Structure 1
Amino acid sequence: MKTLITSLLALWPLGVMAQEKPKIDLSIDFASAYVWRGEQVGTACVQPEVTVSYKGFYLSAWGSTGFNSEEPKEIDLTLGYETGGFSVSVADYWTAGDIGYFHYGATNTLHTFEAQVGYDFGMLALNWFTNIAGYDGVNAKGNRAYSSYVSLEVPFTLAGLECVAKLGAVPYATDYYYDGVNGFAISDVGLEVEKEILVTDRFSLPLFARVGWNPATEGAYFACGLSF
């Protein structure tokens, strides 16, 4: 993990030279359910995100919290680089629990560090994710699984709606996802739709809906909300 982070930081000055000032983006989603990689992990929630970027480089903070104390509370930090269709990043996922935030021990942490590499071909985007440190699952032999996830997304327009068809899979055995998979498992077959609902000449509501099926768990999900 240190080698990958060091490589990203070494490339940072190149991005700074190409763009004099950083760009800051702020967004917030209000969703009826928190769905992640084919599984509903929470109900109605608020999910804000702030991203600071130079040309190609970015550092983002994303969070999720529900409307009652029983819902999961999550903070994710991501350092990444994008050029053309290529992207690479390292993320720190943390979900609140019995262990505090500043615990990073190999067997005493709620942080999961994940590396991502992908390419967006325009007509489709392919991404691979692997847990490289922190909290992770184990495989059938009880060894650290370095749990991975692969996703394929195909954007298209239908009847004036912006749509994305999604296919996700867990490539090998781990108990990190879905209470355990024994090998390759398709885990998300879904569709996301976005539409701007015009309210006045100057104001519209950015709506989204997500529906999907998880063959690995034989479950299904549906979520909708607003994205600002």
Structure 2
Amino acid sequence: MNAIIKKALAAVITVSFCSFGMIKAQDDESGATFNVQGDLVSSYIWRGMYQTGASFQPTFSFGIAGFSLTAWGSTDFDGYQASEGLANKEIDLTAAYTFGNSGLTLSVADLWWGGQGANKYFNFKSHETAHHFEAGLAYTLPVEKFPLSVAWYTMFAGQDKDAEGGQNYSSYVELNYPFSVKRVDLNVTCGLVPYKAPQYYTNGFAVTNVALKGTTAIKVTDSFSLPIFAQAIWNPRLEDAHLVFGFTLKP
């Protein structure tokens, strides 16, 4: 398993770096796209769970013919151990394929949030690694007036282990429904854990993420607008709530 994981990650990284040379061909004849952007958020909440305070979250991705490679990261400003200057640092690599107009997307992701100073990023030993490897399947209803999407994610390898060292196969299911009101794009989210998953602090079925997000833009000049967003998030399982504000910088 370790050799397979190493080869898969090496392939993803190699293809990702090779695709950087295509930045000038954002919309060429082949339909290839390249995207670079960054979000600044007041706090980082992941699937209804607080991760850290104000953070900067860059994204770059490459896509062609239904296939995409995405690198996403998050780094806070003071860290979870501020006295020692160790920042909360996360790097996620995702490969995904969308099957034509079917609305179906299959993805495989490497999630790593070891933090600044953790090092050993390339340690993929099953019982030592800080990586979480996750498979996902998402489907969006082919109904223009009701574009509900449903996604299921399961951690199949990596750090997600039980006390005996076996894989937990922690899973998370999320429903999203986007709509608009005047100049604001809104999205309602409901996320749940279907069975016991220590990764999400659940002993069985639990709703962990109920959220409403609104996105709009502030016009700065005739040629530039700044996208801003606010999100209210509730975690019924942990009896916690969050209100997040952020903005996006992109070409």
The answer, yes or no, to whether TM exceeds 0.5 is yes
From 175, 192, 199, the counterpart of 2:198: 175
Asked whether 1:30 is paired with 2:40, we answer: yes
**In structure 2, C-alpha distance between the alignment counterparts of 1:170 and 1:138, rounded to whole Å:** 17
Which residue of structure 1 aligns with residue 124 of structure 2?
104
Residues 47-69 of structure 1: CA distance to partner in whole angstroms, max 9, x if unpaired? 00110111100111111001124
Deviation at 1:96, TM superposition (A): 2.4
**In structure 2, C-alpha distance between the alignment counterparts of 1:213 and 1:113, rounded to whole Å:** 26
Which residue of structure 2 aligns with residue 95 of structure 1?
113
**In structure 2, C-alpha distance between the alignment counterparts of 1:138 and 1:38, rounded to whole Å:** 22
Asked whether 1:78 is paired with 2:94, we answer: yes
- Aligned positions, number: 213
CA contact (8 A) 2:127 2:165 kept: no
CA contact (8 A) 2:91 2:113 kept: yes
Which residue of structure 2 aligns with residue 12 of structure 1?
none
Unaligned 5+ segments in structure 1 are 10-18
Cα RMSD after superposing both structures:
2.3
Structure 1: 4+ residue segments shifted above 4 A: none
From 157, 161, 184, the counterpart of 1:133: 157
**In structure 2, C-alpha distance between the alignment counterparts of 1:37 and 1:173, rounded to whole Å:** 16
Q: Determine which structure has the larger strand proportion and give its number.
A: 1
CA contact (8 A) 1:80 1:89 kept: yes
TM-score, reference length from structure 2 = 0.79
**In structure 2, C-alpha distance between the alignment counterparts of 1:112 and 1:124, rounded to whole Å:** 27
Deviation at 1:39, TM superposition (A): 1.2
Residues 160-207 of structure 1: CA distance to partner in whole angstroms, max 9, x if unpaired? 210000000011002111xx2110000011101000111222222100
Which residue of structure 2 aligns with residue 164 of structure 1?
187
Which letter maps to 1:89?
A: S
SS at match of 1:211: strand
Which letter maps to 1:55?
A: A
